[in-house]
Structure 1
Amino acid sequence: MRASKNSLSPTIQMGSSGFTLIELMVTIAVLAIIVGIAAPSISTQLANQRVKATANTLANALKEAKVESILRRQNIELAYDPPTSKTIKLKVGSTEISSYKINDKSKVTRVITPATESKVIFQPNKKIAKNVTVVYTICDEGSKSVAPKQVSLTSIANINTTNAGSC
């Protein structure tokens, strides 16, 4: 035999409905602990994503410069001078044909060999002018625990992205 709600006394009906303040406080405390544990992991994930996105942006700009030099049969200059600049520009002479924005929290360093050169110019013959090789190292300024990435460009215009380098 089942007792219906209507057959219970009014004091029992009032006492068994809803949550107590203590139950709500315990639930909120458990949620706060879970969020506190998860927050550092999320910030590291976001920093990793920024480094990865910046490396991909840089690699795409290099690939576009290579392809444009072949299609246009002209030299294409990659105008990018880290860390002062946060924009990569592709130029034909003084005319800008494309630009890429780098994340403000990304730190990019560049090493050009030979050290006497400061420009990266893609030629239509699928090579870099003056046999320049370049290594870009990408780090995140907000997080030291994120592994850096390197985008390297060889003198024959091969573009490689690797997990290497130091910040």
Structure 2
Amino acid sequence: MNVSVNRLIHQRTTSSGFTLIELMVTIAVMAIIVSIAAPSISNQLANQRVKSTTATLSNALKEAKIESIIRRQPITVTFANNNSDGGTISLTDTANIASHGYDAKSKIGATNTLTGTVATTIIFRSSKHVDAGLTYTICDSNSAASPRQVVVSTVAIITSRLGGTCP
């Protein structure tokens, strides 16, 4: 009986825990996996920021369109790419109606659909029209992110799509 007890004690002392080499190999493998996965995660986060800003802009434009019809007066939508605290999208008539914020790493640019000139405002009329169609391009500070566009036609149809070029 002493022999079996000695074997049991010997097995417990020799097989308890991990060696330092085993732990170091495991940590090295984990570090390699993380270094491979990190760039794709940052690209996914950048694409998500672009999608979020696109949704915010699209919803603000739709809100302005509806408000112009309900109030029977023009509603102006402007955007500002602020530097450190994020950007703002403002809806105004004679007073400020609403303001929406978006991530500081996202940038919005807009061009007139017909002339190609840069614009920062669009005016929705109660007649369900805008003065000039605009194409908004949403980009991210991470250049690997896919840009998106929000297009407003002259009859105030708002669509979003993947594409566009960032400056």
Q: TM-score, normalised by structure 1?
A: 0.86
The change in CA–CA distance for 1:12 and 1:119 in structure 2 (over 3 A counts) is: closer
Distance 1:74 1:146, change over 3 A: same
The residue that corresponds to 2:58 in the other structure is: 59
Identify if the C-alpha distance between structure 1 residues 9 and 70 changes in structure 2 by more than 3 Å, giving closer, same or farther: closer
Correspondence 1:108 to 2:108 = yes
Question: What CA RMSD, in Å, does the superposition of the two structures yield over aligned residues?
Answer: 2.3
Q: For the residues of structure 2 that align with 1:111 and 1:81, how far apart are their CA atoms? A: 14
Pick closer, same or farther for the CA change 1:111–1:21 going to 2, 3 Å.
Answer: same
Structure 2: gaps of 5 or more residues: none
**Aligned residue in 1 for 2:163:** 164
- From 115, 120, 123, give the equivalent of 1:121: 123
Map 1:37-116 to 2 at 5 A: 37-82=36-81, 86-93=87-94, 95-112=95-112, 113-114=114-115, 115=117
Identical pairs, percent: 47
**Hey, what's the Cα distance between the residues in 2 that align with 1:107 and 1:8?**
70
Which has the larger displacement, 76-85 or 63-72?
76-85
Q: Distance in 2 between matches of 1:98 and 1:106?
A: 20
Match of 1:22 in 2: 21
Secondary structure at 2:48's aligned position in 1? helix
Contact kept, 8 Å, 2:129 with 2:154, in 1: the verdict is: yes
Q: Secondary structure of 2:98's partner?
A: strand
Tell me how far apart the structure 2 counterparts of residues 52 and 13 of structure 1 sit (CA, whole Å). Answer: 56
Report Cα offsets for 1:93-141 as digits up to 9, x if no partner: 1x1111111210012111125549764111111111xx31111111111
Residues 58 and 13 of structure 1: CA distance in aligned 2, closer, same or farther (over 3 Å): same
Deviations 1:19-59 (A, max 9, x none): 11111111111111111111001000000001111111111
TM-score, scaled to structure 2 = 0.86
Tell me if structure 2 keeps the 8 A contact 1:83–1:108.
no
Give the match's secondary structure for 2:160: strand
Q: Which SS does the other structure have where 1:165 is aligned?
A: coil
